[in-house]
Chain A
Amino acid sequence: MNVYIPILTMAGLGGLFALFSISIAPITGPKRYNRAKVDAYECGIDPTPQPIGGGRFPVKYYLTAMMFIIFDIEIVFLYPWAVYFDTLALFGFLAVLLFIVNLTIPYVYEWRRGGLDWD
Chain B
Amino acid sequence: MFGTDPFWLVLVKTVVVFIGLVVIVMLTIWFERRVVGRMQNRIGPNRAGPQGLLQTLVDGIKLALKEEIIPITAHKAVYWLAPFLSAFAAFAAFAVIPFGPTVSMFGIETQLQLADFPQSVLYLLAVASIGIYGIVLSGWASGSTYPLLGGLRSSAQMISYELAMSLSFVAVFMYAGSMSTSEIVIAQEQLWFCVLLLPSFVIYVTAMVGETNRAPFDLPEAESELVGGFHTEYSSMKFAMFFLGEYINMITVSSIATTLFLGGYLAPWPFSLIPGINEGWWTILFWFVKVVLFVFMYVWLRGTLPRYRYDQFMAFGWKVLIPFALAWVVLTAAVRAFAIEYFEDVNMLLLGVGVMLVGVFIYLVYLQIRDARRAREPEPELPSGPMNLENEGFPVPPLPGQTFEYTPRASTTVSGGTEQEEVTDG
Q: Is B283 an interface residue (CB 8 A)?
A: no
Q: Is B299 an interface residue (CB 8 A)?
A: no
Which 9 pairs show the lowest CB-CB distances between chains A and B? A14-B91, A40-B144, A118-B311, A25-B237, A18-B87, A3-B3, A93-B337, A82-B173, A11-B92
Q: CB-CB contacts of B129-161 with A at 8 A, as 1s and 0s?
A: 000000000001011111011001001100110
Q: State the majority secondary structure of interface residues on A.
A: helix
Q: Judge whether A116 and B319 touch: CB under 8 Å.
A: yes
Smallest CB separation, B372 vs chain A (Å): 13
Which of A25, A83, A117 is within 8 Å of B179, CB to CB?
Answer: A83
Could you say which residues of chain A place their CB within 8 Å of the CB of B361? none
B residues 222-249 near A (Cβ < 8 Å) are: 227, 232-233, 236-238, 240-241
How far is A68 from B333 in the complex, measured between Cα atoms in Å?
Answer: 23
Could you say which residues of chain B place their CB within 8 Å of the CB of A55? 145, 148
How far is A2 from B17 in the complex, measured between Cα atoms in Å?
Answer: 19
Smallest CB separation, B125 vs chain A (Å): 9
Q: Judge whether A21 and B91 touch: CB under 8 Å.
A: no
Contact A41 to B87, CB < 8 A, known contacts A22-B80, A26-B68, A29-B66: no
How far is A31 from B72 in the complex, measured between Cα atoms in Å?
Answer: 15
How far is A1 from B10 in the complex, measured between Cα atoms in Å?
Answer: 10
Q: Judge whether A118 and B310 touch: CB under 8 Å.
A: yes
Smallest CB separation, B273 vs chain A (Å): 29
Q: Judge whether A68 and B159 touch: CB under 8 Å.
A: yes
Q: Is B96 an interface residue (CB 8 A)?
A: yes
Q: Judge whether A85 and B72 touch: CB under 8 Å.
A: no
How far is A24 from B146 in the complex, measured between Cα atoms in Å?
Answer: 27
Q: Judge whether B319 and A4 touch: CB under 8 Å.
A: no
How far is A21 from B22 in the complex, measured between Cα atoms in Å?
Answer: 13
How far is A9 from B148 in the complex, measured between Cα atoms in Å?
Answer: 34
Closest residue of chain B to A108 (Cβ to Cβ) is: B323
Q: Judge whether B318 and A116 touch: CB under 8 Å.
A: yes
How far is A26 from B235 in the complex, measured between Cα atoms in Å?
Answer: 11
Q: Is B396 an interface residue (CB 8 A)?
A: no
Q: Judge whether B95 and A6 touch: CB under 8 Å.
A: yes
Smallest CB separation, B95 vs chain A (Å): 4
Which of A22, A32, A54, A60 is within 8 Å of B83, CB to CB?
Answer: A22
Q: Judge whether A14 and B90 touch: CB under 8 Å.
A: yes
Smallest CB separation, B339 vs chain A (Å): 10
A interface, size bucket: 35 or more
Which of A15, A55, A57 has the most B CB atoms < 10 Å from its CB? A15
How far is A93 from B331 in the complex, measured between Cα atoms in Å?
Answer: 10
Q: Is A109 an interface residue (CB 8 A)?
A: no
How far is A55 from B148 in the complex, measured between Cα atoms in Å?
Answer: 9
Smallest CB separation, B222 vs chain A (Å): 14
**Chain A interface (Cβ within 8 Å of chain B)?**
1-7, 9-11, 13-15, 17-19, 21-22, 24-26, 28-32, 37-43, 47-48, 50, 54-55, 57, 60-61, 64-65, 67-68, 71-72, 75, 78-79, 82-83, 85-86, 89-90, 92-93, 96-97, 100, 104, 111, 116-119
Could you say which residues of chain A place their CB within 8 Å of the CB of B145? 40, 42, 47-48, 50, 55
Contact A7 to B87, CB < 8 A, known contacts A13-B18, A40-B233, A68-B159: no
Q: Judge whether B310 and A90 touch: CB under 8 Å.
A: no
Could you say which residues of chain B place their CB within 8 Å of the CB of A37? 69
Q: Judge whether B340 and A10 touch: CB under 8 Å.
A: no
How far is A31 from B148 in the complex, measured between Cα atoms in Å?
Answer: 26
Closest residue of chain B to A11 (Cβ to Cβ) is: B92
Smallest CB separation, A39 vs chain B (Å): 7
Q: Judge whether A79 and B69 touch: CB under 8 Å.
A: no
Q: Judge whether A30 and B67 touch: CB under 8 Å.
A: yes
Which of B7, B140, B142, B333 has the most A CB atoms < 10 Å from its CB? B333
How far is A14 from B70 in the complex, measured between Cα atoms in Å?
Answer: 24
Q: Judge whether B152 and A9 touch: CB under 8 Å.
A: no
Contact A79 to B84, CB < 8 A, known contacts A4-B115, A6-B10, A118-B311: no
Could you say which residues of chain B place their CB within 8 Å of the CB of A54? 140, 143, 148
Which of A32, A41, A97 is within 8 Å of B232, CB to CB?
Answer: A41
Could you say which residues of chain B place their CB within 8 Å of the CB of A19? 84
How far is A1 from B3 in the complex, measured between Cα atoms in Å?
Answer: 5
B residues 52-104 near A (Cβ < 8 Å) are: 63-73, 80, 83-84, 86-88, 90-92, 94-96
Q: Judge whether B322 and A71 touch: CB under 8 Å.
A: yes
How far is A79 from B125 in the complex, measured between Cα atoms in Å?
Answer: 12
Smallest CB separation, B151 vs chain A (Å): 10
Contact A31 to B156, CB < 8 A, known contacts A1-B5, A9-B10, A83-B173: no
Q: Judge whether B13 and A6 touch: CB under 8 Å.
A: yes
Contact A86 to B177, CB < 8 A, known contacts A18-B88, A64-B160, A75-B163: yes
